[in-house]
Chain A
Amino acid sequence: MSVSNVQTSLVDRAPVPIRTRPVRSRRQRVGYALTVLAFLLPSAIPLALFVLGPMIAAAGVSLTKWNLLAPPKFVGFDNYANLLTAPQTGAVFLHTLFYIVGYLPLVYVGGLALALALNSRLKGRAFWRSIYFLPVVTSWIVVALVWRWLLNPSTGIVNTVLGFVGIDGPGWWTDPTWAMPSIILASAWKDLGFVMVILLAGLQAINPELEDAARVDGAGWWRRLWSVTLPLLSPSTFFVVVISLINGFQVFDQVYAMTGGGPNGASEVVVQRIYDLTFRYGAAGEASALSWILFVVVLGVTVVQIIGQRRWVTYG
């Protein structure tokens, strides 16, 4: 509350913009610190206790050999050394990267087109939005079953339709080359509605007068999209890209449900490997070490994006 006192005293002078912290007395500084804590602690306490704590515990586990039953045995950095030299580690990271590179452009461009279309004048807009949102709320167990059926190499609808136009459809999830593209396709289909909703919320926040002004100035549809809508939408775009990359590196459910990492490990991703190490091979230490390697990679990628956002993200 002390902050407001400082600012009311400014009223009868020139209305100075209060963007930065004004210089304050000791008491006011304490008051400000308490305000910050009041806003932050509700989230900081659960995050520290139930995410950061277990994360640090996992770092401890990564230095041990532990099958979850017998007491863990300290092995130093052996798990990391083993993982970094194993060819399988490179392979699972490569598959994960393949997934991200295929998935992100598909889901962003698709989600943007959908958000723009469903933000424009359209009959039954709310109804169509709900339909496109349906896959987002459906569980991967169901979605994977349906997609395996759609992409069945011999009886699936997709290959049947491809057959009509004279294309010999691939083996999809049964073929090592096409297993990952099958997962990408199903994932983009499922997440399209997610991206659409985030971008729609962003579009709704844009002042329509700005677009109208551009229209009056004679800007066409593409020009308005490039020079007005996309820059103003950049905070939402930034959010979608950061979240999609974080989730992309941790892709698991759909792989587990659609191919189980197969055929022959062709679609095995990092978290699938972590899961198998923990719950199938009883190698919790190695699993924790791989998690920390993944964590460092994702953290690095995210930090680069946060630093890079100054170049292209505009806030209101």
Chain B
Amino acid sequence: MDERWTARSIVLHVVIIAGAAIMFFPFLWTIITSITPGAGLTQTPALIPENPSLEAYLRLFSERPFGRQIANSLFLAVITTVVQLITSSTAAYAFSRLPFRGRGAVFAVYLATMMIPLQVLVVPLFVELKTFGLINTFLGALLPTFASAFGIFLLRQAVNQVPRELDEAAMLDGAGHFRTFFSIVLPNIRPALATLTVFAFMGSWNSFLWPLVVLRKPELQTLPVALAGLQGQYTTDWDVVMAGSVVSVLPILAIYLFAQKYVIQGVASSGIK
């Protein structure tokens, strides 16, 4: 496409900007509510608050172990992401490049693990981890997140898109499967790895039900559990809840911006081009 401002490119920009405004509006509303002291949800909040203040953010950190809870969430999310990148990429390689008898069936079983709702697994999982003595431990919160069928499926699709000529060439040069995996396949699926980084981090960061059940002590609690606790039974300080929501979105946004850079770089330097 040429650089000039053609009619089509102007229309494209207008549509993108209008759409972005719609996408951004609820987030803007969250920010506005967070700086409106004593905000309620019954009346429509003014788009420009009369007495904006950062009081809700200060209360968030002074009245509760919010800093500690952020650290907990961050720790769990980082470990989950790193482990999932490893387990997903190796499994994806096997499902794409290492044929063996019954592979289709094994892949079907992997996919099947996504199809049963978590709500029903929580009870047996709790009983299981209790017998291992892992309730109220970070390991107990982490173990069930170590492999993700979603991640494996995502990366398998990506590995399938890597031209087989590339690894065949490497193998003709004497590379084994491990070398092919590290030096040919991984660099070529960087966009998908970046995508998985975002989703693995987000999945852990936002997960609610399992951390709620397994981490009972307040000092072990994660951010979403703490945020849900802010919504009181009778009264809710909406400005504090929204301040917590704003803070909770920032790390994922940072990860996304970081990963996005790699999506673009990954393509620029890949063998596919």
Q: Which A positions have Cβ atoms within 8 angstroms of B?
A: 1, 3-4, 7-8, 10-11, 15, 17-21, 32-33, 35-36, 38-40, 42-47, 49-55, 57-58, 61, 68, 114, 117-118, 120-123, 126, 128-139, 141-143, 145-147, 149-150, 155, 189, 192-193, 197-198, 200-202, 204-205, 207-209, 235-236, 238-239, 242-243, 246, 249-250, 252, 271, 274-275, 278, 284, 287-288, 291-292, 294-295, 298-299, 302-303, 306, 315-316
Contacts and interface: CB of A to CB of B under 8 A. Distances in A.
A147 B191 contact: no
A139 B203 CA distance: 11
Task: Report whether over half of chain B's contact residues are helix, strand or loop; otherwise say mixed.
Answer: helix
B144 A42 contact: no
B152 to A, nearest CB: 6
Contacts of A35: 98, 176-178
Given A43-B90, A134-B27, A155-B44, A58 B120 contact: yes
Nearest to A37: B94
Contacts of B143: 46, 49-50
A51 B121 contact: yes
Interface in B146-202: 146-147, 149-150, 152-154, 157-158, 160-164, 168, 171-172, 174-179, 181, 191-192, 194-195, 198, 202
Contact of B116 (A19, A236, A295): A295
B146 A46 contact: yes
B20 A131 contact: yes
B206 interface: yes
A288 B44 CA distance: 42
Most buried by A among B17, B91, B108: B91
Interface of A is mostly: helix
A316 B87 contact: no
B7 interface: no
Given A54-B121, A299-B115, A117 B154 contact: no
A236 B157 contact: yes
A211 B164 CA distance: 21
Contact of B161 (A235, A295, A302): A235
B262 to A, nearest CB: 11
A149 B41 contact: yes
A149 B253 CA distance: 25
